[in-house]
A and B are shown apart, each in its own frame.
Chain A
Amino acid sequence: MNGLVHGAVYGGVIASVLLTTIAFGIWFERKFAGRMQSRLGPTIVGPFGLLQSVADVVKLLQKEDIVPRDADRPLFDLAPVLAALFSLGVAAVVPFSPTIIASDLDVGVLYILAVGGLMVIPTFMAGWASNNKFALIGGMRAIAQSVSYGVPLVLAVLVPVILSGTLSVSGIVTYQANHHWFLTWPVFIGVPAFAIYYMAMLAESNRIPFDIPEAESELVAGVTTEYTGAKFTLFYMAEYVHTLVGSAVGAALFLGGWDGPFAPGLHWMVLKTLVLFTVVYWVRWSLLRLRSDQLMVLCWKWLTPIGVLLVLGAAAWVQFVPGGFQ
């Protein structure tokens, strides 16, 4: 019972903080993109345009809710809710400090992979239920992309699991705090594993250069083509939450989570998460989009074999290097 209350309180707090962060994260992204494009970004609404996302949400919530005539109504309504649920659900096992964690599961990594992998279901549901050809193509692309990139994602995440010998996320972070960050040592395994994790994370959260399910220049707005108002808001936020939580997981698994000198753990975790989050947008506003077949080539011909090698390397490290495993 105590665990339930703890989970409810911390889960609620973490979810609210995440959603607030998203609101300002979107503002930050627009300013950031503006600077990259020699313009200003939002300046008028609120000081420095800070309230722009708030205005957007207030407006979107007031919009008419349109369901296309031949849409599959239950699926169409359920998809955005599930998207928000799954993307926030991952955050439950992410340790923001030694104590701030909604639920410290023993199989936390497995949980992250499972719930994160579920994200594709609402995406495809939306594509299917909209009864729109652009949305359907987007949903198909999402399935193909998510199933493919799940493989290198699992392989990359296995590396810290093997090196630390635990499936608990906070266990992995504790190991890193006691020994070394996996990004820094063994560097020839950690850095490529982190790179693969990051790319797979971009693909799973549909960010450029892997945003083919949305691909607004080809598919108008991809799976969200038919969504209006509040449902679109849920999708929109789910995407950002997915990216943010993905960044947090990356920070925890590879960058030592809350570990860091001078400041309390929470500060370090938030800083690392936000840096990874910013890099997502740096990449997003610089690169063009890959084609779906090129994505598959990248995944199956490069990332997956390298991932397998890294897992073998990590296992060999643990097995043969003295002091490799505690």
Chain B
Amino acid sequence: MNESDGKRRLPRYDEAALAYEHPLYKTLLAAPGLSVSVAPLDLLLSWGTMNSLWVFPMATSCCGIELMSAAASRVDLDRMGTIVRATPRQADVMVVAGTITVKMAPRVKLLWDQMPEPKWCIAMGSCAISGDFYRELYSVVPGIDTFLPVDVYIPGCPPNPEALMHGLLRLQEKVKLARAGQLVAKEYPPNRLDITKPSIARLSDPARDPALSAAQEKSAGEATATDESDERGGGNASAVEPFAAETTSTDVEALLRELGVTEFPKDGAPIVPVEQHVTLARRLRAMNYRIFVHVVATHFPEKTGAKAAPERFEVAYALRSVGSGSKIASWRLSLATGQAAPTLVGVFAGADWQEREQFDLVGVRFDGHPDLRRIMMPGNWEGHPLRKDYPADKACTPWR
């Protein structure tokens, strides 16, 4: 793009370099009547192609719901002959609707390769276009145009169903022009800054008073500056109990004391010795705490200086009692580096996937878990993303 005069320009093709002539081209052109009869046929073929764009829904997340809405009664893509085919072999347009992760991207590419030519790709929604606010994160592909040739970009989060229809109309036009032999400039992904800028070009208007711009910039800056007087500080969680039903009840406290817990900190659940952990879960289960709520592992990296502390992991557990007056019972384990927590799968089958997730993302091992594999990340992933020393935008080939 040529930014010198502040205007965005479409790329220029070097038409001489692109010119290719089939050896038979001149001969056929000279054949009497041939071009006249072929031209309507070509028009017919191009008309058929552009009026029957069958969609392959590569729907992964929110945009997929809007893709469904677009096929539903209010917008009804069937009006323009667009129907959704479940198999890539019979589709013309792949609508990538939703975030594509590094685990999903190879599958998307495979499905794209399975589609028959001629085929087109629509990037629906900002996740597919650029990765949106997940862009800088370790597991998300920053835009599908890094591995697919995108024809039409439909910005929005998610785009309305009408926007999808507009995108399909734009694609129709592109197909038509391309079939007519015109060079269609590549559509560029909407620049993220361009999207956020006002659509009216008033800032670059030469007649505009520069003082006005300065005043607007100043007020915009003030809106994001810290206003200390408005600051709302430091709630200590245990001091406020808006939800009376969720306090630790006394019988749980008695059980914890029985199991050798003496400290009941104000800023969280009590820390239970690792060896009492499974017993506690069993006893609580017998006390009607039958719903497994969560297991959360947290990484506390090594600290130096005044508050020096070794690296440790905290694993928080919560159970919920069934029926009226439902309460939460929670406790924590404190683990040193390399120390494993005993698994709860034997007590609560629901701990299975949650423990796998914590193992995958934080790297805490659970002793005795029957199937401790990665669950969220691909099997060959290195490192544990939710550790504090793991960069959020960790390099992930081939995307960043």
User: Interface residues, chain A, CB within 8 Å of chain B?
Assistant: 30, 34, 37-45, 49, 51-52, 54-66, 216-217, 220-221, 224-229, 232
Q: Choose from A42, A58, A62, A226 the contact partner of B79 (Cβ within 8 Å).
A: A42
Q: Choose from A42, A51, A59, A225 the contact partner of B89 (Cβ within 8 Å).
A: A225
Q: Which residues of A contact B118 (CB under 8 A)?
A: 62-64
A49 touches B81 (CB 8 A): yes
Q: Which residue of B is nearest A37, CB measured?
A: B73
What separation, in Å, do the CA atoms of A225 and B48 have in the docked complex?
23
Q: Which residues of A contact B213 (CB under 8 A)?
A: none
A229 touches B116 (CB 8 A): yes
Q: Which residues of A contact B47 (CB under 8 A)?
A: 55, 58
Q: Which residues of A contact B72 (CB under 8 A)?
A: 39
A221 touches B79 (CB 8 A): no
A62 touches B78 (CB 8 A): no
Smallest CB–CB gap between A29 and chain B, Å?
A: 11
A56 touches B81 (CB 8 A): yes
A66 touches B89 (CB 8 A): yes
What separation, in Å, do the CA atoms of A220 and B85 have in the docked complex?
9
Q: A42-B78, A228-B90 are in contact. Are A63 and B116 (CB under 8 A)?
A: yes
Q: Choose from A58, A217, A229 the contact partner of B45 (Cβ within 8 Å).
A: A58
A40 touches B48 (CB 8 A): no
Q: Is B321 interfacial (CB 8 A cutoff)?
A: no
B81 touches A42 (CB 8 A): yes
A41 touches B78 (CB 8 A): yes
A55 touches B48 (CB 8 A): yes
Using A40-B79, A44-B79, A55-B81 as known contacts, list a sample of 16 further A-B pairs with CB atoms less than 8 Å apart, ordered by residue number in A: A39-B73, A40-B76, A41-B79, A44-B51, A44-B80, A45-B51, A45-B52, A52-B52, A54-B48, A58-B47, A59-B52, A59-B92, A66-B116, A224-B87, A226-B89, A227-B90
Q: A42-B81, A52-B81 are in contact. Are A221 and B48 (CB under 8 A)?
A: no
What separation, in Å, do the CA atoms of A226 and B51 have in the docked complex?
23
Most B C-beta atoms less than 10 A away, residue of A43, A49, A55: A55
Smallest CB–CB gap between B91 and chain A, Å?
A: 10
Kindly supply a per-residue 1/0 record for chain B positions 279-291, scoring 1 wherever the CB is within 8 Å of any chain A CB and 0 otherwise.
0000000000000
Most B C-beta atoms less than 10 A away, residue of A39, A55, A59: A59
Within 8 A of A (CB), among B32-57: 44-45, 47-49, 51-52
Q: Which residues of A contact B114 (CB under 8 A)?
A: 66
Q: Name the prevailing secondary structure of the B interface residues.
A: loop
What separation, in Å, do the CA atoms of A224 and B85 have in the docked complex?
12
What separation, in Å, do the CA atoms of A66 and B118 have in the docked complex?
12
B90 touches A43 (CB 8 A): no
A221 touches B85 (CB 8 A): yes
Q: Which residues of A contact B116 (CB under 8 A)?
A: 63-66, 228-229
Kindly supply a per-residue 1/0 record for chain B positions 8-29, scoring 1 wherever the CB is within 8 Å of any chain A CB and 0 otherwise.
0000000000000000000000
Q: Choose from B51, B78, B117 the contact partner of A34 (Cβ within 8 Å).
A: B78
Q: Which residues of B contact A44 (CB under 8 A)?
A: 51, 79-81
B87 touches A62 (CB 8 A): no
Smallest CB–CB gap between A240 and chain B, Å?
A: 15
Within 8 A of A (CB), among B254-293: none
Q: Which residues of B contact A60 (CB under 8 A)?
A: 52
What separation, in Å, do the CA atoms of A62 and B80 have in the docked complex?
19
Kindly supply a per-residue 1/0 record for chain B positions 352-377, scoring 1 wherever the CB is within 8 Å of any chain A CB and 0 otherwise.
00000000000000000000000000
Q: Which residue of A is nearest B71, CB measured?
A: A39
What separation, in Å, do the CA atoms of A207 and B72 have in the docked complex?
23
Within 8 A of A (CB), among B157-216: none
Smallest CB–CB gap between B74 and chain A, Å?
A: 8
What separation, in Å, do the CA atoms of A65 and B89 have in the docked complex?
9
What separation, in Å, do the CA atoms of A229 and B119 have in the docked complex?
12
What separation, in Å, do the CA atoms of A30 and B76 have in the docked complex?
12
Q: Is B86 interfacial (CB 8 A cutoff)?
A: yes
Q: A42-B79, A42-B81 are in contact. Are A63 and B48 (CB under 8 A)?
A: no
Q: Choose from B44, B45, B86, B117 the contact partner of A221 (Cβ within 8 Å).
A: B86
What separation, in Å, do the CA atoms of A269 and B48 have in the docked complex?
33
B89 touches A39 (CB 8 A): no
Q: A38-B73, A42-B78, A44-B79 are in contact. Are A220 and B45 (CB under 8 A)?
A: no
B90 touches A216 (CB 8 A): no
Smallest CB–CB gap between A111 and chain B, Å?
A: 33
Within 8 A of A (CB), among B326-349: none
- 10 smallest CB-CB distances across A and B, nearest first, come from A58-B48, A64-B116, A55-B51, A59-B52, A39-B76, A64-B117, A39-B73, A221-B87, A228-B116, A59-B48
What separation, in Å, do the CA atoms of A55 and B47 have in the docked complex?
7
What separation, in Å, do the CA atoms of A232 and B85 have in the docked complex?
12
Q: Which residue of B is nearest A221, CB measured?
A: B87
Q: Which residues of A contact B79 (CB under 8 A)?
A: 39-44, 49
Q: A49-B81, A228-B116 are in contact. Are A62 and B48 (CB under 8 A)?
A: yes
What separation, in Å, do the CA atoms of A93 and B92 have in the docked complex?
39
A39 touches B78 (CB 8 A): yes
Q: Which residues of B contact A224 (CB under 8 A)?
A: 87, 90
